[in-house]
Chain A
Amino acid sequence: MLLETEGLTKQFGELTAVDEVNLQLQEGDSLSIIGPNGAGKSTTVNLITGLLNPTEGTVQYRGEDITGQEPHEIVQQGLSKSFQTASIFPDLTVERNAIVASLGAEHGSFSLNFFKRLAGYDEVAERARRTLEDMGLYEQRDIKAKSLPYGDKRRLEMALALASNPDLLFLDEPTAGMSPDETDDTVDLIERIKEERGVTIVLIEHDMEIIFRVSDRIAVLNRGAKIADGTPDEIRGDPDVQEAYLGGVEI
């Protein structure tokens, strides 16, 4: 088992944002988490990736309890996250963005090398170059990240998340705000990441077309609780899901 959550719960005061969610994920699985706005999808991911501490419940990664660890510790174990907004370093060049990500990947969470020249770190430069080439951003390496078109910013964001060669990648609405063309490219990219790198992907998404294209399994959240978990076909026919999520409309 790659990832397993047990009774994962998060309360903000009186509000239960995530309510005893159990998720299991095998290596190579592609899971989508869906649900209406405020269903607790992002909060669930934040609990797993260490941005928030759960009120109750545990998260296990490769059989090891990672509940309550800091994000950087969790990332160092091979679990990475791409944000809903393009979370990049806008005033640094595209290359600098990739270099910072590569430093985290090559040298662990902390090292005391403030008197060594960055230019001498060949393996960091090499990893940054590979990451950018792989994402088709190498040509733009010298421009500031904020000057990239929106679609490229999201691609750079994903490049940052992938620089560490994670085994598990969370993608929070990767196509939000994208044009149909950009969306198509992104879905192709996600499929390529899955195949070429063997990354297990957990997708939070609204767009049903994308979900059915890339997911083997879908977990449905509603008001913080998991109400269904199964193959796309099973979810399509689930009356609970139709009632809660789609107000009874056929998918």
Chain B
Amino acid sequence: MSEQTETATPAESTDTAGLLDRWDALRERESFSILGAIAFVIVFPMIFTNLPAYNGYMSLVELIYIWAIFAIGFDLLLGYTGLLSFGHAVFWGGSAYAAGLFSANIYGEPLLMVLVATVTAIVLALIIGVLSLRRGGIYFAILTLAFGQMMYFLALGPLGEITGGEDGFTGVTIEPLLGSIGLGREFAGILGTLLHDISYVLFAGFFVLAVAAAVRIVRSPYGAIFQAIAENEQRVRFLGLNVWRYKLVAFVLSGAFAGVAGGLHTIHAQYVAVGSLYWITSGDIVIITVLGGVGSIFGPVAGAMAFLYVENIVSGEIAFWLLVLGALFVTVVWLFPAGLWGIVDGIRSTVRGQLSGDDS
């Protein structure tokens, strides 16, 4: 119980209650999350690149958005539908190669590359989903892992002529956006401060779109059914719902997000490493999502931020950064099973409780 509420006159506390109700109603709005994402992409780089020590850089900010898109989609599957895939590198790496090959052989327009990457991931997800989803739990995880490794060795060996094998794919050629706007073109004045350059708008724009799409999916009938499947699959079946198909859609949707991210990554790195198909990548996305907090939209974003920060910044200062990452992961999962976002959520509801005087 805060002193503030104790000393508040009745009129004041009604005011607070009214404000809080309005705040709650606002938070319920879909546009709230989208505006939040927009505010985030404007503010985040300002803070992140200007930390007093161990500060980040713009290219890393963009990389965080790309991984965040991947993680948001992965969480639709893991957090909402309760399915652990251990082979999502297929969609990330597969789409990255598709975008790279498309840019080298046909046309390197960034939006088209993302489109090609997404379609590739959707097709792969449909095939692997149909083959893996017949089994549940650990069998599903192992099947997706096996398909992932098959793709990795395929890219490494038999398809080495096309993919560049162990060296990765180096032929990526990026054209200007829509054929005329160079990705490096910088904005002037206030726009420059807020949005930096065209490439930033591209990556941040896709990040905001991914948040908007995920929020809409979670609030559609699918969101309710995904959560119900995670909690009690058999009951959903006995409500007359085709669980298998809903799971397949969850799998394909998460594959599509991975495809967008994979395509963007090719644009960002102008290179595709064969490691993008390796099982470690599949593990990374599991760690990012769990670290950030499953079952929310912004949890995976927080996970991507923490993971990439440790991987790219802390690693420059400390040789055994993987140990730092491991310690961070264990600590968070131990103390806060709801992940980094769970901590934020906890603080928010405590403050909310204090303000409304719920505990009085």
CB-CB under 8 A for A117 and B219, given A90-B231, A160-B239: yes
CB-CB under 8 A for A72 and B249, given A87-B232, A100-B225: no
Query: What residues on B are CB-neighbors of A138 within 8 Å?
Result: none
Q: Is the CB of B227 within 8 A of A92?
A: yes
Any B CB within 8 A of the CB of A112: yes
Which residues of chain B from 220 to 252 have a CB within 8 Å of any chain A CB?
A: 220-225, 227-228, 231-232, 234-243, 245-246, 249
Any B CB within 8 A of the CB of A168: no
CA gap between A75 and B239 in the complex, in Å: 7
CA gap between A173 and B228 in the complex, in Å: 24
Any B CB within 8 A of the CB of A110: yes
CA gap between A83 and B244 in the complex, in Å: 21
Min Cβ gap A174→B in Å is 15
Total A-B pairs, Cβ < 8 A: 107
Q: Which residue of B lies closest to A75 (CB)?
A: B240
Q: Is the CB of B235 within 8 A of A89?
A: yes
Q: Which of A101-109, A183-191, A228-236, A239-247 contacts B (4 or more CB under 8 A)?
A: A101-109
Q: Is the CB of A118 within 8 A of B224?
A: yes
Q: Is the CB of B223 within 8 A of A118?
A: yes
Q: Is the CB of B232 within 8 A of A104?
A: no
Query: What residues on B are CB-neighbors of A71 within 8 Å?
Result: 237-238
Binary interface profile of B, 19-46, with partner A (CB < 8 Å = 1, else 0)? 0000000000010000000000000000
* B231 partner, pick from A72, A92, A108, beta carbons under 8 A: A92
Query: What residues on B are CB-neighbors of A108 within 8 Å?
Result: 240
Query: What residues on A are CB-neighbors of B217 within 8 Å?
Result: 114-115
Secondary structure at the B interface, as helix, strand, loop or mixed, is helix
Query: What residues on A are CB-neighbors of B245 within 8 Å?
Result: 109-110
Which residues of chain B from 231 to 287 have a CB within 8 Å of any chain A CB?
A: 231-232, 234-243, 245-246, 249, 253
Any A CB within 8 A of the CB of B216: yes
Min Cβ gap B27→A in Å is 14
- List A residues at the B interface (Cβ < 8 Å): 49, 51, 70-72, 75-76, 80-81, 83, 87-92, 96, 99-101, 103-105, 107-119, 121, 124, 160-161, 163-164
What are 8 contact pairs spanning A and B, CB under 8 A? A51-B234, A81-B238, A89-B227, A96-B228, A103-B241, A112-B249, A114-B220, A117-B220
Given contacts A49-B238, A72-B237, 20 further A-B contacts (CB under 8 A): A76-B240, A81-B238, A87-B234, A87-B235, A89-B227, A92-B224, A100-B224, A103-B241, A105-B239, A109-B245, A111-B221, A113-B221, A114-B249, A114-B253, A117-B219, A118-B221, A118-B223, A124-B221, A160-B235, A163-B239
In the complex, the 10 A-B pairs of residues with the closest C-beta atoms, listed nearest first: A75-B240, A104-B239, A114-B222, A104-B240, A109-B242, A110-B242, A100-B228, A89-B231, A104-B241, A76-B240
